[in-house]
């Protein structure tokens, strides 16, 4: 059963330094061999400052930047053994590059608890200094609810 | 990237068919992403959770769809990318990423397209569907 008092709650922010090898590692796991993510000279020719992070790199920021999310979910009453990923939503404002220090802040945007399912949406805002570079939303469900 | 003038509604993005998903790939993806939920990596754990065996990270499918999108447009032009996870992909599945332009428009001085994108398996079952907004 979800603890609805978490609705709207914002968790403490964290910093994550973007490592070039982490950008490559995610692409290697996906099997994405686009030189844009591997070859700095190629990326510069294409008009980038360096090899940018790929489109789903926010997942690295989420889990490596804030591994405590699993503990937070448990505290919220989410059965993490039964959770399913329902939706993922990104809005991009600027590319993320190796060496960037990204500050992430996770908040509980919405919670729903019914007999059919529990559903929670987390919203993460990622900043580089004062500049918002990315907003990510992750929705998880636990079928069968409580 | 293709020129704006050459794009019209119902234009199909170049599709991408991947090698079959392997258990090793899921192990690599766990380490890369930091999502160590064992339903993706340890068969016994997946069975305890009521599954037939390990399942792929949904984010791996979103990543493959992202590969198709960034192969087409790069990174800078992508404004929004969102997906809904429809069904589970498993080791052995052959995933194909596809996309189609649904809307071509100008807004606040930007030339934009909205595309519907999805991942399907070798049987045509949709694993992930989503939407991407690309600026020119």
Q: Is the pLDDT confidence value at B81 over 70?
A: yes
Owning domain of residue A61: 4-143
Residue A58's nearest CA partner among A24, A26, A35 is: A26
Is there a contact between B66 and A55 if contact means CB atoms under 8 Å apart? yes
**Token representation of residue A84:** 């399913």
Q: What is the pLDDT of residue B50?
A: 87
Helices (H), B34-115: 43-48, 58-73
- Tell me how far CA of residue A20 lies from CA of A25, A96, B86, in angstroms: 9, 11, 32
Percent of chain B at pLDDT exceeding 70 = 100
Looking at the structure of chain A, the number of domains it has is 1
Q: What is the pLDDT of residue A83?
A: 87
Is there a contact between A59 and B34 if contact means CB atoms under 8 Å apart? yes
Q: Which domains does chain B have, with CATH numbers?
A: 9-135 (3.10.129.10)
Is there a contact between A95 and B75 if contact means CB atoms under 8 Å apart? yes
Q: Is the pLDDT confidence value at B47 over 70?
A: yes
Percent of chain A at pLDDT exceeding 70 = 99
Is there a contact between B62 and A87 if contact means CB atoms under 8 Å apart? no
Contacts of A63 in chain B (CB under 8 A): 33-35
Residue A38: CATH number of its domain: 3.10.129.10
Q: What is the pLDDT of residue A51?
A: 98
Q: What is the pLDDT of residue A95?
A: 98
- Choice between A63 and B2, residue whose per-residue pLDDT is larger: A63
How far is B9 from B55, CA to CA, in rounded Å? 35
Mean pLDDT of B110-133: 97
Give the ipTM of the model, two decimals please.
0.95
Contacts of B59 in chain A (CB under 8 A): 56, 59, 85, 88
Give pLDDT < 70 ranges for chain A: 145-146
Q: What is the pLDDT of residue A146?
A: 45
Q: Is the pLDDT confidence value at B1 over 80?
A: no
Mean pLDDT of B15-37: 97
Mutate which of B23, B59, B82 to disrupt the A interface (most A C-beta within 10 Å)?
A: B59
């Amino acid at each position: 059963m979800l603890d609805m008092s978490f609705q709207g709650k914002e968790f403490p922010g964290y910093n994550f330094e973007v490592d070039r090898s982490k950008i490559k590692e995610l692409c290697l796991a996906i099997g994405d061999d686009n030189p844009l993510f591997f070859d700095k000279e190629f990326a510069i020719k294409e008009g980038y400052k360096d090899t940018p992070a790929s489109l789903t790199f926010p997942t690295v920021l989420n889990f490596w930047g804030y591994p405590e999310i699993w503990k937070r979910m448990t505290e919220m009453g989410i059965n993490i053994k039964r959770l399913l990923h329902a939706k993922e939503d990104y809005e991009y404002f600027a590319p993320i590059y190796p060496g960037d220090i990204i500050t992430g802040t996770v908040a509980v945007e919405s919670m729903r608890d019914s007999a059919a399912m529990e559903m929670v949406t987390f919203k993460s805002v990622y900043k580089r200094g004062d500049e918002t570079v990315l907003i990510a939303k992750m929705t998880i469900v636990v079928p069968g609810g409580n | 990237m293709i020129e704006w003038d050459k794009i019209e509604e119902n234009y199909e993005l170049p599709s991408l068919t991947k090698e079959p998903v392997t258990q090793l790939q899921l192990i690599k993806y766990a380490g890369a992403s930091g999502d160590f939920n064992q339903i993706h990596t340890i068969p016994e754990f997946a069975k305890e959770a009521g599954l037939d065996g390990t399942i792929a990270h949904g984010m791996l499918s979103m990543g493959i769809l992202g590969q198709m999108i960034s192969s087409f447009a790069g990174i800078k032009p992508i404004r929004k990318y969102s997906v809904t996870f429809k069904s589970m992909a498993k080791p052995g599945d052959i995933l194909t990423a596809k996309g189609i332009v649904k809307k071509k428009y100008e807004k606040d001085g930007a030339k934009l397209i909205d595309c519907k994108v999805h991942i399907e398996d070798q049987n045509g079952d949709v694993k992930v569907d989503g939407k991407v907004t690309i600026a020119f």
